[in-house]
Amino acid sequence: MINISNISKSFDGQSILKNINLQVNTGEVVAIIGPSGTGKSTLLRCINFLETPDSGQIAINGLTIDAKQSHDKDVRELRKQLPFVFQNYALYANLSAVQNIAEPLKTVWKQSREQAEQTALQVLSDIGLADKARHYPSQLSGGQQQRIGIGRAMATQAQAILMDEPTSALDPEWVGEVLTLIKRLAEQKQTMIIVTHEMAFAREVADRVVFMSDGGIVEQGSPEEVFGNPKDPRTQRFLARFTR
């Protein structure tokens, strides 16, 4: 469904992503793991053009965007289909929980105000935060904010959700509730690409694990293959630190 081909990106002459190719199927949960500074987040940001790749193509359901000649309108359509969950939640600070979820529905998905708010309230009750509907982000815990960040993406009915280290900024006490929510989405066959440092979570939830190192995909496969029997020495070395 999502076809990422030959994506390259460098910053200040330093190559961060080297010719990345990745296919994601409908309903598939792909976890991207690997050492820090290896380009995982940059790849995710390139997939919905928060960073414009230097070269390569992203295709999703008939829409193909070439990095070298991307039009704003196409980029917006791509982003509409690939909403993003941020490490630091990045909820709209001036909007309440329910408005945060309703906002993209109104401005991007052209839903009526009533319809958007109704959907948003439904999502809030889905994620167990119905009682926080009128709270502003600053009045919510990190875990609650990230659940709303995920709810904001869920509500759009987009093709797939991109998650950039959704639990990395959370206090340990809030990690569980966020992982539980993502797990539930996975069970509902929500297509997701998740950059994560939570190895146990990746192993349990992902259909496919992609190991990245030095700006490239080193190996990928089912969790059993990658975690159980890593082939590349770099994967072995990386995973050894978690299984000790």
Tell me which residues touch another protein (CB under 8 A): 48, 50, 72, 76-77, 79-80, 83-84, 86, 88, 90-96, 103-104, 107-108, 136-139, 152, 156
| Complex with another protein: residue 75 or 121, whichever CB lies closer | 75
> Rounded to the nearest whole angstrom, what is the least distance from the CB of residue 152 to another protein in the complex?
7
- Per-residue tokens: 209: 């694990």
- Beta strands 208-213 and 2-11 are unpaired
Instruction: Give Cα 108 to chain centroid, integer Å.
Output: 19
Using alpha carbons only, what angle is made at residue 76 by residues 186 and 2, rounded to the nearest 5 degrees?
A: 40
| Complex with another protein: residue 65 or 218, whichever CB lies closer | 65
> Rounded to the nearest whole angstrom, what is the least distance from the CB of residue 89 to another protein in the complex?
9
| Complex with another protein: residue 39 or 137, whichever CB lies closer | 137
Handedness of CA 123, 143, 102, 62 (dihedral sign): negative
| Complex with another protein: residue 152 or 234, whichever CB lies closer | 152
Name 192's bridge partners: 29, 161
Name 5's bridge partners: 57
> Rounded to the nearest whole angstrom, what is the least distance from the CB of residue 162 to another protein in the complex?
8
> Rounded to the nearest whole angstrom, what is the least distance from the CB of residue 228 to another protein in the complex?
35
Classify residue 165 by its DSSP letter: S
| Residue 170 CA neighbour count, 13 Å, CB half | 27
Q: What is 182-223 written as a DSSP string?
A: HHHHHHTT--EEEE-S-HHHHHHH-SEEEEEETTEEEEEE-H
> Rounded to the nearest whole angstrom, what is the least distance from the CB of residue 44 to another protein in the complex?
10
| Complex with another protein: residue 157 or 236, whichever CB lies closer | 157
| Complex with another protein: residue 100 or 167, whichever CB lies closer | 100
> Rounded to the nearest whole angstrom, what is the least distance from the CB of residue 129 to another protein in the complex?
17
